[in-house]
Amino acid sequence: MNWKRSGIAVATLIPVIGLFAWGLTRDPNNIPSPLPGRAAPAFALSVFAPGQGELHRPVGDTMRLADLKGKVVVVNFWASWCLACRDEHALLSMLAQEYVGKPVQFMGVLYNDVPDKGRAWIAEMGGQSYPSVDDPGARVAIDYGLYGVPETFFLDVNGRVAYKHTGPVTPDVVHQKLDSLIAAGALQSALEVSKPGAAATDVKPAEGR
C-alpha cells in the first residue's frame, strides 16, 4: 500500500516540478508583442536631430511612415536618460552608414525626453548618422506598444512590422533582419515588374520572416 501511495505522490509531484522548472527557464519580462505581422502604426513626427551626410534631414522636417513605403525602416526608440541606449548608439550610427545606398531608412524616436537633452546627448556620443524625431506625449511610443527604451522595430517595404527587438541591438540581429527584408523587398518589386497584379499575393510567404 505504501508503494502505491508513494507512486501516486511521485506521479503528482513530477509534473508540478517539471512545470516549475520550465517556468524558471522563461524570462517574465519577455512579453511577446502582438505587432509583428501587422501594419505598422502610422506616424508623422518632426525631426529634431538632423543626422549627417547623405542621411541628413533638416530639423523641423516631418517624417511620415507613408512617405517611407518601399523602404525597409528601422525605428529605434531612445532617450538621453537611457543607459542601454549608449551601448547600441555607435553601432546603429555605423550600420546606418553601412546601408547608405540601399532602400533602408534608419530613424531615432525620442521617448519621454526633451529635444535639447537629446541633441546634447548626441553631441556627447559623437554624433548620430541618421535623423531623430521627437514624440511628444509618447503617442507613437504607445501606438507601438513600447515598454521601455531601447526598443527597435524593423518595418518591411510594405509598412508592416516585421520584427521587434527589445534592448540594445547587436550587429548580427540588424544585419540578418535588414538583409532579409531588403531581399524580400527586391524580390517583391521584381515580381511586380514581371507580372503586376499577381505579385502581391505571390510574395507574401517570402516576406521577412
Residues making contact with another protein (CB under 8 A)? 1, 31-35, 39-46, 62, 64-66, 81, 112-114, 117, 134, 136-148, 159
Of the pair 28, 205, the CB lying nearest another protein is at 28
Shortest distance, position 129 Cβ to another protein, whole Å: 24
Minimum CB distance to another protein, residue 121 (Å): 13
In angstroms, rounded to a whole number, what is the distance separating the alpha carbons of residues 89 and 147? 19
> Nearest distance from residue 68's CB to another protein, in Å?
11
Report in angstroms how near the CB of residue 204 gets to another protein at its nearest. Answer: 15
- Pick the closer one to another protein by CB: 115 or 168: 115
Alpha carbons 98 and 170: distance in angstroms, whole number: 15
- Kindly tell me which of 24 and 66 has the beta carbon lying closer to another protein: 66
Closest separation in Å from C-beta 74 to another protein = 17
Nearer to another protein, 4 or 195 (CB): 4
Choose between 95 and 110: whose C-beta lies nearer to another protein: 110
Helix-helix angle 171-194:83-98, to 10 degrees: 40
Given a contact cutoff of 8 angstroms between Cβ atoms, the answer to whether 155 and 64 are in contact is no
| Cell numbers for 69 | 513605403
Rounded Cα distance between 66 and 119, Å, is 26
